[in-house]
Amino acid sequence: MTPLIIHGHFYQPPRENPWTGIIDPEPGALPFHDWNERIYAECYQPNSELRIVVGGSEQIVNNYEHISFDFGPTLLSWLQQHHAETYSRIVVADALSAARHGGHGNAIAQAYNHAILPLCNERDQTTQVRWGIADFRHRFGREPESMWLPETACNDHVLGVLIDEGVRFVILAPQQAQRVRSKKSVLADDWHTVGRDTIDTSVAYSYFHRDDSGRSIAVFFYDRKLAHDIAFEQALASSQLLVDRFAQRRAELPGLINIATDGETYGHHHKFGDLCLAYALQVDGPARGFTLTNYGEYLEQFPPALEVEINNGERSEGSSWSCIHGVSRWIRDCGCHTGGEPGWNQAWRGPLRAALDFLRDEAAIYFEATRGELFRDPWLARNDSISLVLDEFKSRERFLSEHAPGELTHEQQQRALGFLEVQRNALLMYTSCGWFFSDISGIEPIQILKYAGRALDLMNQLGLPSPRERFLEILAEAKSNRTELGNGADIYQRLVEPLRFRQASDEVLVR
C-alpha cells in the first residue's frame, strides 16, 4: 500500500469591520452577504457532510476526517460564531483522525492572521506563532504538531522561531528546497543542490536550527505536479482521473504521495471538487492501493534520514509557494499579480507596507513606555492576551493582575486594555491578502487599512500623539491603478474613515 496525504489549507482573511465587529456587505459575493458565507456554502460545509454511494448504499463522509488540514484561526472563530454545527464537525474530525492514526490528528495550526512571517519583525513573528498555537490548543484540545506558514513563506529565521516554539514539522513548496545531504554525513562538500523539480517529495527531511544547538524540525515538500494538476489542470473532473494521476506519480516516484493546495479548491474553486475528493479517498484510492495517513503518523513511522537547507529567497527575505521572486509579492512590484487591467502595476505595495510599518513602530514606542506602569513586560502581556480574544468571559482584572507591576486603578486597567487592543489591530493589519491582488482599492487592502484606522482611533482615545498625518503622507505614495481613486491616502479617507463607529462610551469593559 502506498501512503497518501492530501493537505488542505483552509483560510479566509478576517473581514469584520473593526469598529462594529460585523462583516459589511461584499457585493462581489452575491447572492451571499459576504465571501465567508459564499465559500462556506460552496466548500466548508459540504466537505463536512457529503453523501456518496458505495456498493449500492449511501454513506455520509466528512472529508476532514481523511485529509490533513489547517484552518485560519480567524476563519474558525467566524465559523464557531455563525455555523457552529460545521465548526463542531471540523473539531470532531480531528479527534477521530487522531484515534485512527496513533494519536496524530489531521489538523495542524496556522500562524494567527496569515501574515507573511519573514516580512514581520521578530516580535510580531513570535506573537503570530504563539497566538496560532494558543488558538489551536483552545479549539482542538491538544498541542499542534505543525504550523502552516501563510503562503508557505519562510526563511531560516522563521524556521528557527518554529523550532524555538516546539513545532515538530512544517510543509513547504518544492522550490523552497536548496540542498540536501545524508544526516550521517560529516563532510562539508556532501551537499547536493536540489530545486523545484529535483527534490524528492516522497520523504521527510531534517532542518537544523542555525544556532548550532542540534535542535531541528522535520520538513515535508509537497508534490508540485500533483498540486498543480488539482488546482489548475482539471484533475478533479472525476475521482478515477484523480487517482490515475496519483498512480502515475507513484510509478515515477515510489514512496509517500503528499499534496498541498488551498482547501477552497474542493468545492469553491472547482464545483463538485469536494465530492470528487470524497470518492477518491473512500472508494477509488483504496481500490488502487493507496492508504490514507497524515504527516504526524508518517513521521513517527519514517523519521528523516536526510538533512535539508532551504532557499531563503531574493535578498534572503524568504521564499514562498506563490511568488517566484521569494516574498516580493507582499512588499514590491515584482511582476506577480492576480487580476487587473492591462498596464496596471503593483508599485503601491511598497508604500502600503511602509505606511503600516511606520504606524506599527509608532504604536510600539508608546506600548513599550507602559513598562513598569501598566505591564511588567508589555510584549509578554501581548503574547498572552490571545486568551482574552479566545474567551470573552475571561476576567480582564485577573489577566491584568498577572501582568501588571502592581495594583492598577480602574482607569489604568482601561488604558492597559486599550494598549493591547492597539497591538491586536496592528497585527491584523499585516494580513497577507492586502498585497496579493491587483490594486490598493480592492476589498483586501481596504480591510487591512480598516485595522490601521482602528489602531489610530484607539491611540487617540489613549491620548497619545497622533501619527495620522505622517501615516497619510507615506500612504499617499501608493498610487491606485484606478486613477479616479487617487492614492492610498485618498482611498483611506474616502473608503475607510467613514466606516468608523463611535460607541456611546470609549470604555473597554473589564470583567
Is residue 320 one of the residues assigned to a domain?
no
What is the structure's pLDDT at 203? Answer: 97
Last residue of a domain, which of 310, 329, 358?
310
CA distance linking residue 336 with residue 226, whole number of Å: 22
Three-state DSSP state, 217: strand
What is the structure's pLDDT at 341? Answer: 87
pLDDT digits (tens, 9 = 90+) for 240-266: 999 999 999 999 988 999 999 999 999
- Closest-CA residue to 36 (of 11, 53, 58): 11
Answer yes or no: do 172 and 259 share one domain: yes
pLDDT digits (tens, 9 = 90+) for 156-171: 999 999 999 999 999 9
pLDDT digits (tens, 9 = 90+) for 143-198: 999 999 999 999 999 999 999 999 999 999 999 999 999 988 767 679 999 999 99
- Domain that includes residue 110, residue range: 2-310
DSSP state letter for 2: E
Answer yes or no: do 105 and 156 share one domain: yes
What is the structure's pLDDT at 501? Answer: 58
Is residue 426 one of the residues assigned to a domain?
yes
Please check whether residue 23 is in contact with residue 17, taking contact to mean a CB–CB distance below 8 angstroms. yes
Give residues with Cβ within 8 angstroms of 242, minimum separation 6: 230, 235, 236, 276, 277, 280, 284
DSSP letter for each residue of 27-65: GGGTTSSSHHHHHIIIIITGGGSEEEEETTEEEEE-GGG
Answer yes or no: do 248 and 305 share one domain: yes
Is residue 506 one of the residues assigned to a domain?
no
Chain centroid offset of residue 362 CA: 26
- Closest-CA residue to 321 (of 163, 149, 64, 85): 149
CA distance linking residue 431 with residue 435, whole number of Å: 9
CA distance linking residue 225 with residue 438, whole number of Å: 27
Last residue of a domain, which of 281, 310, 339?
310
- Closest-CA residue to 382 (of 411, 419, 415, 412): 419
Whether pLDDT at 508 is above 60: no
Give residues with Cβ within 8 angstroms of 405, minimum separation 6: 372, 373, 374, 375, 376
Answer yes or no: do 110 and 244 share one domain: yes
- Residue 338: pLDDT band (50, 70, 90) is confident
Whether pLDDT at 502 is above 50: no
Answer yes or no: do 405 and 275 share one domain: no
- Closest-CA residue to 416 (of 388, 451, 391): 388
CATH classification at residue 287: 3.20.110.20
Answer yes or no: do 352 and 221 share one domain: no
Answer yes or no: do 246 and 354 share one domain: no
Which residue is it, cell 505536479? 225
Q: Directed axis angle between helix 122-140 and helix 156-164, to 10°?
A: 50
Answer yes or no: do 304 and 382 share one domain: no
Answer yes or no: do 151 and 239 share one domain: yes
Is it true that the peptide bond before 405 is cis, omega within 30 degrees of 0? no
pLDDT digits (tens, 9 = 90+) for 276-320: 999 999 999 999 999 999 999 999 999 999 999 999 999 999 999
